[in-house]
Amino acid sequence: MRTPTDLLGQTAAIPQGDGNTIIQIVGDGNTVVPGRPHLRLTRYLTRRVVRVELDWLSPYCRSTALIGREHELEELQKFLNDPRPTLVRTLAGPAGRGKTRLALELCERASDAGWSAGFATHAELSRFSAQQNLATWA
């Protein structure tokens, strides 16, 4: 990278190559957070210990084995293996039908296969969408 001076005699940065980041700060009390925008995922990859009887009903405890969802998991596995660069899949249905539990099982499979898999909270999606240059997100 070259660092010539501009018309005011200040140092200027001119990037060469790809993936460069130039940060110029003027004044005091500034905060710089380098890096690309990112999305923080909440992960539930371990089974929780059942501490009270109500925990048996929580899909996040994963206190019992998932039975009878082989077809749905097969379809979701096909979704994960799709070569297209961007895909979105939604699970919709009445409460208590197993959508969250199915998503938890899929996250575990995806994580085992090397994916960054998890749940994005509403607050995290709001924070992420407020960032600039989302085309470069990590």
- Write the pLDDT tens digit of every residue in 103-122: 998 888 888 888 888 888 89
pTM of the model: 0.62
**Out of 32-46, 64-78, 117-131, which region has the weakest mean confidence (pLDDT)?**
32-46
Bigger pLDDT: 136 or 62? Answer: 62
The answer to whether residue 64 scores a pLDDT higher than 50 is: yes
The answer to whether residue 75 scores a pLDDT higher than 70 is: yes
Quickly count: other Cβ atoms within 10 Å of residue 117's Cβ.
20
pLDDT of residue 86: 75
For 78-103, the three-class secondary structure string (H helix, E strand, C coil) is: HHHHCCCCCCCCCCCCCCCCCHHHHH
- Domain boundaries, given as residue ranges, for the chain: 42-68+97-130
Q: What is the mean pLDDT of residues 69-85?
A: 89
CA 125 to chain centre: 9
- What is the spatial distance between Cα 108 and Cα 110, in angstroms, rounded to a whole number? 5
Confidence grade of residue 44 (pLDDT, cut at 50, 70, 90): confident
